[in-house]
Amino acid sequence: MAVYAGYGGSVTFNAVDLEAQRWELTTSVDLIDATTLGNTNRVYTAGLKDWRATVECFQKTETDTIAYVSTTATLELYIDDTHKFSGKGICTNARITSDRNDKKKLVLEFEGNEQTATIAFS
């Protein structure tokens, strides 16, 4: 389930900008079991942060899906005219869908990694 969702934004691969139509963003954190001998309940502490995003764009070329998978992209996901989430993520999946008007859409999935795990809100 998405924590944040919105319309509008951009996904940039090597200076090629894809206009985002819709997007969903999920953030998470690992829990580390810090329970010690003598505790009667489990004790947890926050561990590593992570995020995932799914972005829907209009398909520009037939080769979009092949070219983008495993590539790092810059994402700017707009909540409204002045607030956005931005960060870099690796494209882990790409698929093509079409609506009832036969307009093709490219659906891209991203995940943060060790070097680019921060997604900033501004």
Range of the domain at 35: 4-121
pLDDT at 43: 95
Give CA separation, 118 vs 38, 54, 85, 92, in Å: 37, 16, 10, 17
pLDDT at 99: 74
The amino acid that residue 23 corresponds to is W
CATH assignment of the domain containing 41 = 2.40.30
pLDDT at 98: 79
- Split into its structural domains, the chain has a count of 1
Neighbours of 112 (CB within 10 A): 20
Low-confidence ranges of the chain (pLDDT < 70): 1-2, 14, 60-66, 114-119, 122
pTM: 0.79
Place of tokens 């005219």: 81
- Provide the CA 67 distance to its chain's centre, in angstroms: 18
